Amino acid sequence: MKLSTALSLIIAISASSPAFAQSGNMKDMSATSPAPAQSMNMRNMDMKNMGMLMGDNKNIAKMGQAATPNMQTHTATGVVMASDTSKGTVTIAHGPVASLKWPAMTMTFTVKDKTFFDKLVVGNKASIEFLQQGADYVVAAVK
């Protein structure tokens, strides 16, 4: 993609920002809208990340590989409500997650390391460290 095309897109989106700001509360726009802290700020985006915005699959793959070691982990403590080793998931009723500004909730996490299921027993309390990988929240450690 040409640099001029990417810059034109940035300018167009930046110019439309005041219109969006005046459109009122967009919080209810979509159930999958990113949290305010995760929303995209086009003015601060560097050009190497434009590939992801523009659908450049090569850059997306590179960004995914580079981002993995730097991904932020979060901590949650709660009670294991369900465990499905065949699907590789665990459902935990956990307390608030301050790093994500989440309230207490019950949610399902992906468990990549099958040995974690030894500690994720239904009915027991567990403290987990997890990170976001795409749309999934993945258990990285169990304490």
pLDDT tens per residue, range 27-81: 444 444 444 444 444 444 444 444 444 444 444 343 444 444 558 999 999 999 9
pTM: 0.53
Question: What is the tens place of the pLDDT at every residue in 66-123?
Answer: 444 558 999 999 999 999 999 999 999 999 999 999 999 999 999 999 999 999 999 9
Q: How many residues does the chain have?
A: 143
- Hey, which bits of the chain come out as E strands? 74-84, 89-94, 105-111, 125-133, 136-142
Of 104, 107, 102, nearest to 92 by C-alpha is 107
CB < 8 Å & 24+ apart, contacts of 65-72: 68/133, 71/131, 71/132, 71/133, 72/99, 72/131
